[in-house]
Structure 1
């Protein structure tokens, strides 16, 4: 089992010689193999140098390769005569693709063997620290990311696209028709951001959407870095049964209230909604949670509440860069797992100093990367009015769609029922569900 996978050194050599015979072949070959596919280190170094030369707009040849190796201080990795030896093998340029496929296959088998050995070592080490299943899964993920495939004409997926359009809805509607009128719904592979000031309803927005997607039968993961699982459960019960949050939080339920709690038990237990509430979680913990849910099947949504509470790795040089990296990673996670990801985030406090306190997209706290990576950004805003000389929040809550890759931006006004931890459509909608020009 642990014997190394055999390889064919002649094929590696002939593939490189074929590129020397036809330097333009490098552009096709590099779609199939990477330097890590080569078993012989000097071949890997030579191929990497060939790619660098091509990227610089220079013709690949034994002379330019040797010059490049000297210039970047890698001449010790490849003997100066080696490139000329490969050129003298007599390989033809048209053979480069055939040889590249063989190199790729042997490279994949070798990497798979190395991953299998790594998984055996993880299993043999015992429980240790952390999730050993996720450690093993990360080895497979690295293997998948390190593998290339030859490109294909875009028309080759035409039939697959038509079948998908005929049999699958492009999105799952949110619980708010007003929001659906703007963004259509929640699409798999998409990243969404909902932001508000502290106490502005972002967690209610996230939990209510999670409940709605779970009730549709899709699996949902909720990463709660601000509230405990039990706090979330109280909000969920309030949302589902219309029990005042104060009664639940203070454990002051009437007999009727206890009956409503019991009535919620079966419904909550049947929900495919799972919570991750580990304090001090890092981004890799969230990715591990998402992958674990994905293996269970039919994952529809991951909610991260909220991004600003994710812990930076030890030795991090820039919190700003961490936030930007996580925003981009969240988009990649949505595509990789084939689900939607919703990031909840706070808005900057200085927005309250403006004459008009309504938020704009630049008020997103932390990183502009979140704005760029998101497919849609919804800013939540609750207006205020004076009652008895004091400013009091109104029951109106605006959904301000500040970015929308699938349509137009706009605003819809709904009703905030904080006592029941939910946001609902107004009985009489005062913002049109379909504006002129919308489809």
Structure 2
């Protein structure tokens, strides 16, 4: 091949990170030429490789621009060949350096056979992955060598996040992305909502009243679910997690992976309750048999048989529980990443926020909680799943006449409110009314009893903040015997 037609040397942009020595970095220009030639010769090649091969995987920047332009045109339904691309690259300085628009014809001459094109695409992808591994390794080496205040644990977390992103997407996270990339994701979300009979673009909570307010649980959202002790926040989170797992459905993809089409695989970090306590609640919800009766052994033969049968029916639900107390946020994130890689993960629940530890703990409680919420939000974005984190409320709620919670009642409220996409409060008026019980069989008691009977099953989920929707209240029902929340009309 004429020297004038050899692709130009790649000069990497300076992003402030240690650079890979790209003159020795793994690459194969012939494979890139063969793939692009095949693509220009037969546009169907694009549909065979586009699910895993992206612009950033090309070593030569001119090849990357050609692939990007061709992808854009094919995506619009246009035919692409050297003649059509000529008008797009007549003024491209990079292409001029390697022979101008005639180089497009050279690519077509170098075209691989259509059946072999996918193998060339795999070569390009794998070499790009190797270059990213070198970059991550060099960056970690520099960070670990420098005398900085960054704790080794933090370096491990950062490196693990980069490696997870590389394993999941074929490219490390970060960097500017074209507007059309985000636009395509938005259209996918709108299409999902349109196709769903319930009009949800996210995962259903199992509660229609709440779904109507939220539109479901959305990927990458950090959702704070707060309440005073015994108000039912753990019960509500458990109900949601159980419903999501029960409704898990998937479709097998051509590449052997599974795509979730409803419900989801759930990871539940129970830092306060043991695994046994949590599963007992789930059994109670599923069977309608009181959890207290289960714990006290107050079941008749039929009820006992019903509980055993229910356990067999739900034992294989995709609900994974970690009851490690006082777990460090780095360990939680690492476990979530492994779960995502091994079996998939569609929803994370953390019960509760104030029990998660962080390396910022030595700097004070506010700084620690702020660090935890920031990293939970980052984890939600990284894994592209909703994260529900439960949170305690301060005692100042009890000192007000109107005890409905508000944003200022959040403990360490500044960081939690700032990082959360959604803040919800569980409120049951009956909880406070029950503590106002007057003396038995007095006129006051009879009035109290009437009022209590009217509200005892009522519950509210107050949405105090929502980035992509209105605030408001979802009215639902609560069954204290099974600690279960339901829609009022179904109660």
Q: Into which bin does the TM-score normalised by the smaller protein fall?
A: 0.5 to 0.7
2:176 paired residue number: 151
Cα deviation digits, residues 164-187 of structure 1 (max 9, x gap): 543576212211111112111111
* CA contact 1:308–1:366 (8 Å) conserved in 2: no
1:216 pairs with 2:247: yes
Number of aligned residues: 329
1:291-330 equivalences in 2 (<5 Å): 291-313=337-359, 316-330=362-376
Q: Tell whether the 8 Å contact from 1:302 to 1:339 is kept in structure 2 after alignment.
A: yes
Which residue of structure 2 lines up, in the alignment, with residue 395 of structure 1?
457
RMSD: 3.6
1:250 aligns with 2:296: yes
Alignment of 1:341-352 (within 5 A): 341-352=387-398
Instruction: Give 5+ residue unaligned stretches, structure 2.
Output: 1-8, 23-92, 98-127, 142-152, 249-263, 440-444
TM-score normalized with structure 1 length: 0.66
Instruction: Give yes or no for contact 2:17–2:139 (8 Å, CA) kept in 1.
Output: no
Sort the Cα spacing of 1:141 and 1:162 in 2 relative to 1 into closer, same or farther, 3 A: closer
Query: How much has 1:194 moved relative to structure 2?
Result: 0.8
Matches within 5 A, 1:109-128: 110-111=134-135
Quick check: 1:39–1:107 contact (8 Å CA) kept in 2? no
Tell me, yes or no, if structure 1 residue 408 matches structure 2 residue 470. Answer: yes
The alignment's TM-score, normalised by the length of structure 2, stands at 0.59
Higher relative contact order (CA 8 A, sep 6+): 1
Given that residues 361 and 368 in structure 2 are in contact (C-alpha distance below 8 angstroms), is that contact kept between their aligned partners in structure 1?
no
Rounded to whole Å, the distance in 2 between the matches of 1:134 and 1:332 is: 12
Structure 2 residue aligned with 1:355: 401
In the other structure, the counterpart of 1:66 is: none
On the 8 A contact 1:37/1:107 being kept in 2, the answer is no
Preserved CA contact (<8 Å) 2:327 2:357 = yes
Deviation per residue, 1:298-348 (Å, 9 max, x gap)? 411100000111134386211111101111111111111111100011111
Q: Distance in 2 between matches of 1:343 and 1:189?
A: 13
Q: Could you tell me whether the CA contact under 8 Å between 2:357 and 2:368 is conserved in 1?
A: no
**Residue of 309, 321, 328 corresponding to 1:282:** 328
Matched, 1:417 2:479: yes
Distance 2:222 2:318 in 1: 21
Match of residue 34 from structure 1: 16
Superposed, which structure 2 residues align to 1:78-89 within 5 Å?
A: none
What is the rounded CA distance, in whole Å, between the counterparts of 2:309 and 2:285 in structure 1? 13
1:140 maps to which of 163, 180, 201? 163
CA contact (8 A) 2:422 2:463 kept: yes
CA 1:135–1:328 in structure 2 vs 1: closer, same or farther (change >3 Å)? Answer: closer
Given the alignment of the two structures, is residue 174 of structure 1 paired with residue 216 of structure 2, yes or no?
Answer: no
Report how far residue 350 of structure 1 moved.
Answer: 1.4
Q: Answer whether contact 1:215 1:271 (CA < 8 A) is retained.
A: yes
Give the direction of change, closer, same or farther, for the CA distance of 1:156–1:345 in structure 2 (3 Å limit): closer
Change (3 A) 1:300 1:358: same
Q: Judge conservation of contact 1:323–1:367 (CA < 8 Å) in 2.
A: no
The separation in 2 between residues aligned to 1:299 and 1:157, in whole angstroms, is: 22
Shift in alpha-carbon separation, 1:236–1:159, aligned structure 2, 3 A: closer
Cα distance in structure 2, aligned partners of 1:241 and 1:259: 11
Secondary structure of 2:163's counterpart equals: helix
Return closer, same or farther for 1:135/1:347 CA change in 2, 3 Å cut-off.
closer
Corresponding residue number in structure 2 for 1:427: 489
**Displacement, 1:399?**
1.0
Secondary structure class of the residue paired with 1:37:
coil
Within 5 Å, which residues of 2 pair with 1:173-252? 173-217=204-248, 218-252=264-298
1:366 — aligned with what?
412
1:398–1:315 Cα change, 3 Å: closer
